[in-house]
Structure 1
Amino acid sequence: MSGEHDGDETGDTPSNSGQQFDRLPATADEREVPGRATREEVVGWWEERFGISPETFDEFTFWEKGKGKIWAFGGDTVDPIRIEGLGMAFLRTRQEHWKPTTNAVQRFGRDATKNVVELSGEAATRFAAGEDQEVEWDGDWGYLLVAHELVGEREPMGVGLYLHGELRSTVPKGRQESLPVLD
């Protein structure tokens, strides 16, 4: 069925395919696949959650592969497209709380103006190693952008999940680092 959405048993309702990338519709009015995020929702979420301007994403197209796995591509291509990867994994949707990927936070996080927790010293080192820790934070709970000051600039490290006074590191195991204490 190359070039078409997989349907339900009756073939009436378009659905997700784990075998191809489908461009996100621009708005809810253009949505054909129930539950699929729209470009407007994705860009709006980044603005609402992290204060990142929608214009930051003007040069990117957004794609879903499978159920709720959103990818960002710095360009355009045919839609749908059956390939393994397209750009960078960007966001997980279709769950109660949307979760940005480490790659997306590291790429776009310098522009964030809210829900950024800055760590230094031992706390930054522990986060990079994948350790959970108690952290004082008076902002929103949920997924946060975790950053560290490096050479006078805020550098995004990854995504943390803040709940009940604890910052949980979501740095993927393959990217965790055992570093000296970061100043």
Structure 2
Amino acid sequence: MTDGDGTAAEDRDTGLESNVGQRFDRLPATAAERTVEGRASRREVLEYFEDRFGIPPETFDDYSFWEKGAGKIWIYAGEASSPVEIEAIGMTCLRTRQEHWKPTTDFVQRFGRHASECVIELDPEAARRFVAGEDQELEWDGDWGYLIAAHEIAGDLEPIGVGLYVHGELRSMVPKGRQREL
């Protein structure tokens, strides 16, 4: 709900503002500083990355987090005034405002090497199938849900994308436009 000039109007029930979908707003530091109903806080985002993937919060000390739309979180290395009406700032990193938060492929490929949890290492054939967008039956003794799929390249474990693991199946979340037959 917005007024005539597109600024957020106050929600009558909560006293919080509504989200303005075409504008970037910096995430509040904590839930106590939240002014927009349903918006994640920086602390919640850092806790998610640490709890789910073991990525230390200090990894993001030089980054700010922004929301544009309903739950599309962006990460930006730099400073900008908030709010800001531009097309993009940094890169998308996380989808919130749904039952299970989902990291983006770009985020995983950039920051996934910092992860120590929920990383599934794929052998060459499984990695090939994953990049092609194929779902596959795999054994995994970790948590169900979104995982970082990784493959050893030149002696290092490199993140290749986001997978969803449920009922013994790894589902490739590689976007259709980025899937490749290798």
**TM-score, shorter chain, exceeding 0.5:** yes
Counterpart position of 2:100: 97
In structure 2, how many angstroms separate the alpha carbons of the residues matched to 1:86 and 1:102?
17
Cα separation, 2, equivalents of 1:35 and 1:9:
15
1:75 equivalent in structure 2 = 78
1:64 aligns with 2:62: no
Q: How does 1:78-157 map to 2 (within 5 A)?
A: 78-157=81-160
Instruction: Report the equivalent of 1:17.
Output: 20
Report SS of the residue matched to 1:123: helix
Deviation at 1:9, TM superposition (A): 7.8
**Distance in structure 2 (CA, Å) of the matches to 1:28 and 1:123:** 40
In 2, the alpha carbon distance for the partners of 1:151 and 1:115 equals 22
Q: Structure 2: which amino acid aligns with 1:153?
A: D
CA apart distance, 1:99: 0.1
Provide the rounded CA distance (Å) in 1 between the counterparts of 2:124 and 2:159.
15
- Following TM superposition, by how much is the alpha carbon of 1:8 offset from its aligned partner in structure 2, in angstroms? 4.5
* Residue type of the alignment partner of 2:115: A
CA offset digits 1:103-140 (Å, max 9, x no partner): 00000000100100000121110000000000100000
The question of whether the paired residues in 1 share the 8 Å contact of 2:30 and 2:43 is answered with: yes
Shift, 1:91, TM fit: 0.1
How do 1:34-73 residues align onto structure 2 when only pairs under 5 Å count? Answer: 34-73=37-76
Q: Identical aligned pairs, as a percentage?
A: 64
Which 4+ residue blocks in structure 1 deviate beyond 2 angstroms?
Answer: 4-10
Q: How far 1:13 moved relative to its partner?
A: 3.7
Contact 2:95/2:104 (CA < 8 Å) preserved in 1? Answer: yes
> SS of the counterpart of 1:79?
coil
SS of the residue 1:17 aligns to: coil
Matched residue of 1:15: which SS? coil
Within 2, Cα distance between the matches of 1:63 and 1:7? 20
TM-score of the two chains, using structure 2 as the length reference? 0.93
Q: Distance in 2 between matches of 1:7 and 1:83?
A: 23
Q: Secondary structure at the match of 1:49?
A: helix
1:2-50 deviation digits (Å, cap 9, x = unpaired)? 6x4344589x641112210001000011001111100000011000000
User: Paired residue for 2:179?
Assistant: 176
Length-normalised TM-score, structure 1: 0.93
